[in-house]
């Protein structure tokens, strides 16, 4: 019997809960790291093959010129960051990027546009891209900002698998980071996505000056949604000159590991993505995050406008850790499905 099969016997599946209290999450977060990691890894092994990593590629299909004032974002028109406003890419350009991503091992292709929300004509063009990417055999994900009634259904009809719309932080800290849209507006978009039958990709960012309570409150909001997100990206702030958060202190890598571990325990069936900020992480930090329950990464040289590790570096790290790319996401979820 393999080590993984033995672990499946020893670590029974933990069903998702939707009633986590803030005190419970803070107790989890603040316990000795070894205890937290032990529990998180047991949950991870009970739900997933711990040595498989889902690979996604993120492409910026419309850059810059966003009217929002998100304090971390170099694409905001309000900040001088050197990011130019560009028109929406053509479908042909997007499909060329998707073919390149698939050839490099990605199983999901994510398309991001710097909009407050898409216009009706934008939905038509993005829908064409979604259909084309699906025909290539890739899962599809888009992040387009806030959705109006009816738009999520049109994206679903085009074949969209996932919609990304991060909450970023806790509701109480949110106004310190963004003033041009409310927390409730973000939740409303998530509900429209759910109502349309699209999978939800939703997470947050650490290192923006938030407290541990704020991180716990963000995870509480995500875990206590009526249906937990299928994908939870955990980002570390990438500090960009010209943005209000450019001078923030670096996040403690151990705090990132704790956040990943808590996300895994609270949302056992979700793919927890080690997302932005990996270029500043040591291999050891990334290894701890994978042990804590991260089982997805963005794979490619760019994350919208910021740098991401090179393909070759990720491949070398995977080889050293004995990790393999999960090109068939359904295989990674087999255990969770069996225990549903």
Residues belonging to the active site: 66, 70, 73, 110, 141, 201, 273
Provide the token pair at 214: 């704020």
d(CA 122, CA 94): 14
d(CA 13, CA 239): 38
CA distances from 215 to 35, 119, 252 (A): 19, 33, 13
């Amino acid at each position: 019997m393999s080590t993984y099969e033995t672990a499946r016997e020893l670590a029974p599946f933990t069903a998702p809960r939707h009633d986590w209290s803030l005190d419970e999450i803070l107790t989890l977060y603040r316990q000795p790291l070894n205890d937290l990691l032990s529990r998180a890894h047991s949950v991870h092994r009970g739900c997933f093959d711990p040595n498989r990593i889902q690979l996604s590629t993120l492409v910026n299909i419309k850059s810059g010129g966003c009217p929002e004032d998100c304090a971390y974002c170099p694409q905001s028109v309000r900040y001088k960051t050197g990011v130019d406003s560009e028109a929406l890419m053509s479908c042909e350009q997007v499909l060329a990027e998707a073919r390149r991503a698939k050839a490099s091992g990605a199983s999901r292709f994510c398309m991001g546009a710097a909009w407050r929300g898409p216009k009706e004509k934008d939905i038509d063009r993005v829908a064409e891209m979604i259909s084309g990417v699906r025909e290539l055999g890739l899962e599809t994900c888009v992040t387009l900002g806030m959705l109006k009634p009816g738009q999520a259904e049109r994206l679903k009809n085009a074949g969209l698998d996932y919609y990304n719309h991060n909450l970023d932080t806790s509701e109480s800290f949110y106004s310190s980071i963004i003033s041009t849209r409310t927390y409730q507006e973000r939740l409303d978009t998530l509900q429209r996505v759910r109502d349309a039958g699209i999978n939800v990709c939703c997470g947050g960012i650490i290192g923006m000056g938030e407290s541990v309570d704020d991180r716990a409150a963000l995870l509480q909001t995500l875990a206590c949604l009526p249906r937990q997100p299928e994908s939870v990206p955990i980002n570390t702030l990438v500090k960009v000159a010209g943005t209000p958060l450019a001078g923030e202190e670096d996040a403690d890598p151990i705090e990132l590991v704790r956040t990943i571990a808590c996300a895994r325990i609270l949302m056992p069936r979700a793919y927890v993505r080690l997302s932005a900020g990996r270029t500043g992480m040591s291999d050891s930090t990334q290894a701890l995050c994978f042990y804590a329950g991260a089982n997805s990464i963005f794979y490619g040289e760019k994350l919208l406008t910021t740098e991401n590790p090179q393909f070759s570096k990720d491949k070398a790290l995977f080889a050293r850790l004995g990790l393999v790319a999960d090109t068939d996401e359904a295989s990674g979820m087999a255990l969770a499905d069996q225990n549903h």
